[in-house]
Structure 1
């Protein structure tokens, strides 16, 4: 009997099929890893290749690829969102404009967190705030162990919400899990953020990508048929999820499968922001990111 495939993803409507006892890919059963929050699976994937197939943040994949990790990217977007609203301050704290963050301390879970990548890109693009002119206060190290953080990155202790609450930073980048668990409504710093998000989307012709699907390169090379079956299954579920929503919000609009114009635009913008912020240091093209997929499956 073929060994079980180890797969780790967050539980989304479009990944529920993985838990079906009857689901097989290339004759393999699926062994789902229980990791919550999902980002705790990223370091074991890029450092140890712990899983055959893994959800992975875009910034983490870019860094892992630069570091030479044998992981292949599949054109499957599992999560994404606009992020103007992710830059917040604590209720009752002094008001501050985005352009005034230069020279200030801003919290982010990790400098290489993908939500932080998007927020820093927005700050530079729309408000002229360069990432190197802000002190980024972090509570976690990078998933890719060899990545050297810029000199304006500091580490502190505790949860990021607590760092923001006690006033160690004037603002913080908080993704959906932290925003959902906050006590009281955090205050977005970017004014009229909903309209700003849609304007960004029209300008870039995409919704920012957060997490995509990756696979161990040795599995892709040895069993392209197995990976193809998985890819087709994810694609079908994503298309069904999008078709079921008559008026999808950005989190549903972000879901994609296949090498579409939106996917290419999202990856290219992520690359541009990552280079600008020293999240990666070596230029790379979207075609190079998807080269393994193109050679073995496309």
Structure 2
């Protein structure tokens, strides 16, 4: 009997099908990994290839690819959002404008966290603040072991919310789980952030990508039919989720399946931002990111 297919993915409406005990993919049962929060699966995936298939942050994938990890990217966006509202200060703290962050300390879980990638890109693009001008105070190391952080990155203890509350930083970048779970209203630093987010989306014709679906390259090469079946299953769930929402917010609009113009735009901007910020140091094209998918699943897709 074939080994189960090990999959690490967060519980979303569009991943609920993975919990079906009768689910098989290409004749293989599915073993859903326990990883909560999901980013705890990222280091084991890129360092050890612990899972056959894994949700992975796009910044982590870019770094893993640069480091030579044998992981293939599938054009399936599992989560995304606008991130102007992710840059916050503690309630009652001194007001500060985005442009004033140059020369200051800003908290973020890890320098390579994808939400941080998008926020730093926004600061540079819209407010002229270069990532090198800010001291980034982090609480975790990168998922990719060989990545060397820029010299303006520091490590501290505790959670980012703790660092922000005790005043060690003037602002913090918080991803959706932290923002959604925060006690009390954090104050977004970017003014009129809702309008600014939609303007960014209109300008770039996409919603920022956070997490995508990846697969071990050896599995893709050995069992393209199995990976294709799983890819199509994810796609059907994503399309159903989007079709069911008559007025989708950005988190639903971010979901994507297949090589679309929105996906290509999102990946290209992530590459551009990552190079600007030394998240990666080697230029890469969107076609190169999707090369494994195109070669092994292009016709099947």
Question: TM bucket by the smaller chain?
Answer: over 0.9
SS of 2:62 mapped into structure 1: helix
Aligned equivalent of 1:170: 170
**Deviations for 1:91-138, whole angstroms, at most 9, x for unmatched residues?**
000000000000000000000000000000000000000000000000
Tell me the CA shift for residue 180 of structure 1: 1.6
CA distance in 2, matches of 1:8, 1:276: 30
CA distance in 2, matches of 1:290, 1:10: 23
* TM-score, structure 2 normalization: 0.99
SS of 2:132 mapped into structure 1: helix
Aligned equivalent of 2:88: 88
**Deviations for 1:48-99, whole angstroms, at most 9, x for unmatched residues?**
0000000000000000000000000000000000000000000000000000
Tell me the CA shift for residue 21 of structure 1: 1.7
Aligned equivalent of 1:50: 50
Tell me the CA shift for residue 13 of structure 1: 0.4
Aligned equivalent of 2:201: 201
Aligned equivalent of 2:289: 289
Tell me the CA shift for residue 267 of structure 1: 0.1
Point out where structure 2 has 5 or more consecutive residues left out of the alignment: none
Aligned equivalent of 1:156: 156
Tell me the CA shift for residue 211 of structure 1: 0.0
- Mapping for residues 271-290 of structure 1, pairs under 5 Å: 271-290=271-290
Tell me the CA shift for residue 41 of structure 1: 0.4
- The answer to whether the aligner puts 1:108 opposite 2:108 as a matched pair is yes
Aligned equivalent of 2:188: 188
Aligned equivalent of 1:179: 179
Aligned equivalent of 2:11: 11
**Deviations for 1:223-253, whole angstroms, at most 9, x for unmatched residues?**
0000000000000000000000000000000
CA distance in 1, matches of 2:199, 2:180: 25
SS of 1:29 mapped into structure 2: strand
RMSD: 0.4
* TM-score, structure 1 normalization: 1.00
Point out where structure 1 has 5 or more consecutive residues left out of the alignment: none
Aligned equivalent of 1:242: 242
Tell me the CA shift for residue 2 of structure 1: 1.1
Tell me the CA shift for residue 182 of structure 1: 1.3
Instruction: Count residues with an aligned counterpart.
Output: 298
CA distance in 1, matches of 2:255, 2:24: 23
SS of 1:206 mapped into structure 2: coil
Tell me the CA shift for residue 22 of structure 1: 1.9
CA distance in 2, matches of 1:37, 1:17: 19
